[in-house]
Amino acid sequence: MILITFAVAGSLTGYAGKKIMGFTGIEAAGIYIPIYVVVVTLIWPLMVIVISVPMGQFVFFRGYLKKMGRRIRGKRKDQMNKEQMNKEQGEMINGQRSMFKVQTGTGNQKRLAIFASGTGSNTQQIIDYFTSPSVKWHVTVSLIVCNKPGAGVLQIAQTKKINTLLIDRERFFYGDAYLDVLHETKIELIVLAGFLWKIPLPIIHAFPKRIINIHPALLPKYGGKGMYGNKVHEAVIEAGEKKSGITIHYVDEHYDEGDIIFQATCDVLPADTPETLAQRIHKLEHKHYPAVIERLIRNSPGKKFHS
């Protein structure tokens, strides 16, 4: 009955459209056709509703139109939310730039920028490490860079009163890559801690051997594009590896191919799942990443060392 309703409504729509166009007196095909298309587009839903009444399908089509209306309103709302988010992001960046010029520190302080996309567990460990009284080196986390609004790492930065920069994909990859902000903040080392975007070449060239990343496996195995989080642990377990671990390495223009700085290992147990292996890997990350950063700064970025 639904198909019959559509067919009858379509026929009546075509007939009514031609009648309406006849009253206009338009004959030129270049004008007639587009206007005719608009007319039948407007008439067709009305015809479907009219025909659906005697066919007993009125309730179905009324519900269908309501559903379509909700979808359209939902898309408009999403678009408005996105536009508002972009506006707020722009305001955040503009507001921060003035702070960066002031909060540059003094003396021989080494300033870090942490790039993160998620909850920020490694970021928390790094911040806590360099605010601990037992660490005598003058190191400060000056900037948290994030590409995901609402990410947990932004809350950590707010709690610790650390400047944040919420970055936009277009500017990051096709604009100035926020190099002006990094230079104004006098960043000396960039630390990636669960940052899922590839670092663009302008930043790599501006910070040679001064960008490091931590990978949840023993590179060169199980690295490359798309290999992050549980995807790495799944691959390690499926391959039957007996050992896994972490790799801290310099960042270059290729995914996970920069020179290795440090590695630490852990056992892969027969009963391991990606989640249980991830827990063991996280412990290695939290234990070693802050200490490796300190040793890098102490020995000057660019040097290799072993555990």
Residues belonging to the active site: 215
Q: Which of 90, 91, 87 is nearest to 79 (CA)?
A: 87
What whole-number distance in Å separates Cα of residue 104 and Cα of residue 64?
A: 59
* DSSP-assigned letters across all residues of the chain: -HHHHHHHHHHHHHHHHHHHHHHHT---HHHHHHHHHHHHHHHHHHHHHHHHHHHT-HHHHHHHHHHHHHHHHHHHHHHHHHHHHHHHHHHHHHHHHHHHHH----TT-EEEEEEE-SS-HHHHHHHHHHTSTT--S-EEEEEEEESSTT-HHHHHHHHTT-EEEE--HHHHHHS-TTHHHHHHTT--EEEESS--SPPPHHHHHHSTT-EEEEESS-TTTT-STT--THHHHHHHHHTT-SEEEEEEEE--SSTT-SPEEEEEEEE--TT--HHHHHHHHHHHHHHHHHHHHHHHHHH-TT-----
The answer, yes or no, to whether the previous bond of 290 is cis (omega within 30 of 0) is: no
